[in-house]
A and B are shown apart, each in its own frame.
Chain A
Amino acid sequence: RKEVEQDPGPFNVPEGATVAFNCTYSNSASQSFFWYRQDCRKEPKLLMSVYSSGNEDGRFTAQLNRASQYISLLIRDSKLSDSATYLCVVNAQGGSYIPTFGRGTSLIVHP
């Protein structure tokens, strides 16, 4: 089993739709979590950190479920410009905080 798993998609949704992605992790000692956005052939860019209490930034909401060992990203009112790959990152404790990326979930928002 991979340490961090994401459904690769693609998720194909119309403008204005609400879409959610999950990311599961296997290391229960994981301490910090992030979502990144990556456009084709570009570098990943930080979208948001994921806090234990959940957090929201405009149309984006991130949640952490430690009991079930997953994080989620909810995008409301999807825009064409949201089309990208969304990567989750999990930092595991164990002295080194080694980051592990998921393979990414592809989102395509169409008119």
Chain B
Amino acid sequence: EAEVAQSPRYKITEKSQAVAFWCDPISGHATLYWYRQILGQGPELLVQFQDESVVDDSQLPKDRFSAERLKGVDSTLKIQPAELGDSAMYLCASSADRDSEQYFGPGTRLTVT
């Protein structure tokens, strides 16, 4: 069964440092999502790609966060500089198209100290 891959699974970083997360969606899935989830809350959409184009990044803190999907396949989410409040689970998901069900990767648990 095809899966969404994410790395690293866990990341501990000091505040003000840079951190990057990687996601490889299910092959053939055109839509890719990055979410942030805080314990006890639902996932919050940070950015949505359709192929290599950003569809929505209205909730992405653009002063410190950036995301790219250069070839329309895998994607990277970067935070620079990291802040204490960025500690959360970062989830990547993909779907065949924008109106289809999403499949999630295992997530990256980020701790900022």
Contact = CB atoms under 8 A, between A and B. Distances in A.
A72 to B, nearest CB: 17
Given A91-B99, A103-B40, A103-B41, A98 B106 contact: no
Interface string B37-75: 000111111001000000110000000000000000000
Q: Give the contact-size bracket for chain B.
A: 20 to 34
B103 interface: yes
B13 interface: no
B25 interface: no
B98 interface: yes
A85 to B, nearest CB: 9
A49 interface: yes
Contacts, number: 55
Contacts of B89: 41
Nearest to B44: A101
Interface string B65-97: 000000000000000000000000101000000
A87 B42 contact: yes
Closest 7 A/B residue pairs (Cβ): A101-B42, A97-B98, A43-B104, A103-B42, A101-B43, A97-B99, A46-B101
Interface of A: 4, 6, 8, 31-32, 34, 41-46, 49, 87, 89, 91, 96-104
Interface of B: 33, 35, 40-45, 48, 55-56, 89, 91, 98-107, 109
